[in-house]
Amino acid sequence: MTASTDVQRADGATLVCVFLLMLLMIPARLVISGIPMSITPATLTGVVLGVIWFCCQLVTTLGVAKGRNLARTALFLYAISQLATYGYATRNYLPMDELEGADRTIVVVFGTICVGIAVVDGVRNLARLDMMLKFMTVLIGVVAFIGFLQFASGLDITKYLAVPGLRPVTDDGFVLERSTFRRPAGTTGHPIEFGVVCAIGVPFAAHYAYRRKEAGLKAGKWWLCLAIIAAGAVVSLSRSAILGMCLGGVVLLIGWSGKRRVQALIAAAGFLAVLKVVVPGLIGTLYSLFDNIGSDPSIEGRTDDYESAGKQIAKHYLLGRGNGTYLSEKYGPLDNQYLGTLVQNGYIGLILLIFLFLAGMYSAAKVREISSDPVVRDLALSLIAAQAIVALGAATFDLLWFSTATGLTFVLVGASGALLRAVKAQNRNPVLPPMWEAVR
């Protein structure tokens, strides 16, 4: 990889950026008109990426990576488990509503799996991966800004984003309420998902802000992006988002230098102080979310479904009853992705989902072990923190039921695999310039 002033041709990273644009900028409630299933533009883009990836694997002239990669293997195994569950669920009679749910879910799942594989094999060097993650972070910042406007004004501007060829799948608003405050969802499907998406963006915004600062470059726009994303996570009034940011912060503090840790803790304290002044009562409301957790009706409601879930697990313990067949309006909600996976994909699906999360984090951790480039190591740390947030979020809500969070999950796993592949290639060819020089 050599630095060049030539115009960059479209490649795998460009196509993934198109997917991210569809995923984060088009409101989650909008699906493609004229298709029986409720398929979003992002899902369709993911399926197209899968077709392109398959065609590229048939030739050797398009620059797509081939060969083993831990993240790639985890994605393939997860895909196989989904096919096995779908075949097991549909081999006998299913009520029409459950069959339709299974059909739609298999398309959505494979659309997002294809995105992860496209990132692993299609984003071939560090500079292009860095560009893609920057683009993702900026888009999350835009989503957070939209959510903050919803929180401040109560106006859901996503209702006015009428895209030709799309229809709303639900009339539900993107602004809910908790205590005396509004709970925004931005362009996502729910305030909880919005908060987790913002929490995922925090490690990357911090990475780019610190990177430019330490390189002696202007970093004001990245500090602003970080502040907006963090504010979005806070105003979502979501336990999942707050817990995710705390966990992500712990991961970053462990990997950062002592100087950066002190700066980050002071900045966090200042951020909370500003929020306390600008939005009176917000910090107290956040505190009450955890102080009253034992008597919170929403927490009690999440445990009511354990008995019915246990009965389903006992009947279909290996492959589950079928992904998309446990309908919330019919059987009650499952506000825990691990429990939901156990019910719908069985123990095999649950093990492979956990392996998928661990494979992404391990790939990024391996990069920190084998790379001496401080920028690469810091980016890998951000990927570990973001995926830790995802893994924790899966325990606090049904994460894979929400398209935006699901799409980002597979992009992050793919990005970890792509980073590991790129760093190994760079180590085999030490004449390549370090990432710091290539993408500064």
The answer to whether position 5 is within a domain reads no
User: Tens of pLDDT along 223-265?
Assistant: 999 999 999 999 998 899 999 999 999 999 999 999 999 999 9
Q: What are the backbone dihedrals phi and psi of residue 182, each rounded to the nearest 5 degrees, phi first?
A: -80, 150
User: Tens of pLDDT along 80-103?
Assistant: 999 999 999 999 888 998 999 999
pLDDT value of residue 348: 96
pLDDT value of residue 6: 52
Distance separating alpha carbons of residues 56 and 420, to the nearest angstrom? 21
Determine which of 41-45, 177-181, 300-304 has the lowest per-residue pLDDT on average.
300-304
User: 30 pairs with which residues across the strands?
Assistant: 168
Rounded mean pLDDT of the chain? 88
Q: What phi-psi label fits residue 281: left (phi over 0), alpha (psi between -120 and 50 degrees) or beta?
A: left
pLDDT value of residue 303: 62
Domain tally for the chain? 1
Q: In this structure, are residues 415 and 123 in contact, taking their beta carbons and an 8 Å threshold?
A: yes
Distance separating alpha carbons of residues 415 and 435, to the nearest angstrom? 15
Residue 356 has pLDDT above 60, yes or no: yes
The answer to whether position 3 is within a domain reads no
Residue 175 has pLDDT above 70, yes or no: no
The answer to whether position 6 is within a domain reads no
Q: Using 50, 70 and 90 to split pLDDT, how confident is the model at 282?
A: confident
Distance separating alpha carbons of residues 210 and 43, to the nearest angstrom? 34
Q: Using 50, 70 and 90 to split pLDDT, how confident is the model at 124?
A: confident
The answer to whether position 1 is within a domain reads no
The answer to whether position 4 is within a domain reads no
Domain that holds residue 110: 12-439
What is the biggest distance separating any 2 CA atoms in the chain, rounded to whole angstroms? 65
The answer to whether position 79 is within a domain reads yes
Distance separating alpha carbons of residues 103 and 101, to the nearest angstrom? 6
pLDDT value of residue 439: 46
Q: In this structure, are residues 191 and 185 in contact, taking their beta carbons and an 8 Å threshold?
A: yes
Q: Please tell me the pTM assigned to this model.
A: 0.92
The answer to whether position 7 is within a domain reads no
Residue 437 has pLDDT above 50, yes or no: no
User: Tens of pLDDT along 25-38?
Assistant: 999 989 999 887 88
